[in-house]
Amino acid sequence: MKERRDFIKKGLLLTGILAFNKSPLFGNNLDTLTNHNGDDESYWKLVKRQFPLQSDKIYLNNGTMGPSPYPVINAIQKDMMDIETSGRYGGNEDLAIEALSRFLSTKKEEISLTRNVTEGINIIASGLNLKKGDEVIMTQHEHVGHAGPWLNKAYTDGIVIKTFLLGKTAEETIDNLKKAITNKTKVISVPHIPCTIGQILPVKAICEIAREKNIFSFIDGAHPPGMLALSISDLNCDFYAGCCHKWMLGPKGTGFLYVAENMRDQLKVLYGGAGVDTGWDMLINPPSMKGYAENGHRFFYGTQNAASFKGIAAAIEFQETIGVAKIEKRVKQLSTYLQENLLAMGTTIDMLTPTESISRGAQIAFKIKDKDMAELQKKGYEKKIITRFVPENNINCLRVSTHIYNNFDEVDQFLELTERFIKS
C-alpha cells in the first residue's frame, strides 16, 4: 500500500501539483507566508507552526471546528485586555464588516454580524413572508442548524419542506433539484457544502434557476469561507449565512449573514434594539421608531463581543497573508490525495464524496463494507486522530477534513489506520 501511495504522490508531483523541495526553513515572520507559491512542504510546516494545536494530535475535523492560529488568538487576547483594563465599550464592528465584505466580495451594507450559521438561517426563515402551504426546497443532507429553522417554520406557520437527492455530479444534482420545483416553491435553501459528505453544490447555477422562477435563494455556507476562494457577489444568491469559527479559523461563536441589498426589505425584522433602527423617540405620543438601518445592522443589535470582532479581522488577515487561492489549492491537494488512496483500497470502500473535481472540496466522506464507521472514529481517537462520524439522516459515514495545518504525513497515518481497520 505504501508503494501505491508513493505512486499517487509521484503522479501529483509530475503534474506539478506537488513539489517536495528541500528548501531552508523560513523565519517566523508572517511576511514569508505571502511571498511563496506554496508548492513546498517546508512552507506548510511553517504555516503549521502558526497554530498552537497539540503536536501529537492529528486533527482532521476542521468541518466541526477550526482551531485558530496565534495571530488570531493574540488579537483577541490583546483587545480583551484593552477592554477590561480601560473600560472601553464596544468597537471593531466596522473593522469586522469591512474585512468580511472584502473577503467575501460583497458590499459592506450587505453584511450582518451573527454568532453562528444557525442564527443567520433563523433570521431568513423567520423573516421571509411565507404562508401556509408555501414550499421550501432542501436536500436530504442538512445539518440541524439548517434544517431546524425551516422545520420550526413548518411547525409554526405550516410551510412545507420538500427534499431532493444530491447527485454524484453537479449536473445530476441540478436535474434532481429542477424536478422538485413546483408552482408553490418559494425558497430554495441548500448547503453550499453539506456537513455530511463534503460535496460542493453548483450553487451559482442553482441561484440562477431560482432567480428565473422568482424563487428566493438561500445558501447555508458553513464550510466554504476559508476553504474556497469565495465571491458571494459572483454567486448571485439572495441570502448566504456563514461562520468564522470553521474554515476561516476565527473566533468561536462568530458568523455573518449576507442579505443582498435588493432583498433587505423582503425580511421582517424580528428583533428591535440598538443599531437596528435609524432613531426612536419615547417622548412623543405615541412613542415611535423612525425606520430601519439601511445596512446589515438591521438584523443585529445590542452589546457584542468587540474582541471577537477584532479576531474576525485578524483571521481574514491571516488567510489573506497566505492567499485564498493558495489555501484552496492546498486543502484540495490533501483531500484529493486522501480520496485517491482510499479508492485504491478497492471495492470495500464506499466513497460518498464525488470524485468530480468541481464537486470535491476539502472533506472526504466514506464507508467501509460491513464495518461500523463509529468504531473507526473511536480507533482514531485512541491514536489521537480526530475525525467526524456522520450519523445525520442515517448516513453513518466517516468525514475527514483537511486544512492548511494538516500535511501528507498526517493523511498517511489516517490511511494506515484505515487499512488496519479493514483487515481487523
Ligand X SMILES: Cc1ncc(COP(=O)(O)O)c(C=O)c1O
Q: Could you list the residues that contact ligand X (CB under 6 A)?
A: 116-118, 143, 145-146, 191, 194-195, 220, 222, 243, 255
Report the 10 Å Cβ neighbour count for 356: 15
Write the single-letter amino acid at 193: I
Beta carbon nearer to ligand X, 9 or 146: 146
> Which distant-in-sequence residues (6+ apart) come within 8 Å of 403 by Cβ?
62, 66, 227, 247, 249, 331, 362
Per DSSP bridges, beta strands 385-386 and 160-164 are unpaired
DSSP-derived secondary structure for 300-337? --S---HHHHHHHHHHHHHHHHH-HHHHHHHHHHHHHH
185 strand-pairing partners: 135
Q: Which residue has cell 464524496?
A: 353
Burial pattern 116-152, b for ≥16 Cβ within 10 A else e, equals bbbbbbbbbbbbbebeeebbbbbbebbbebbbebbbe
> Which distant-in-sequence residues (6+ apart) come within 8 Å of 100 by Cβ?
106, 111, 256, 312, 316
Supply the minimum distance, in Å, between the C-beta of residue 201 and ligand X: 11
Beta carbon nearer to ligand X, 33 or 117: 117
Supply the minimum distance, in Å, between the C-beta of residue 192 and ligand X: 8
Report the 10 Å Cβ neighbour count for 183: 6
194 touches 166 (CB < 8 A): yes
Write the single-letter amino acid at 60: L
Q: What is the C-alpha separation between 238 and 248, in angstroms, rounded?
A: 22
Q: Which residue is nearest to ligand X (CB)?
A: 145
Smallest CA-to-CA distance from 138 within 173, 112, 169, 183 is with 173
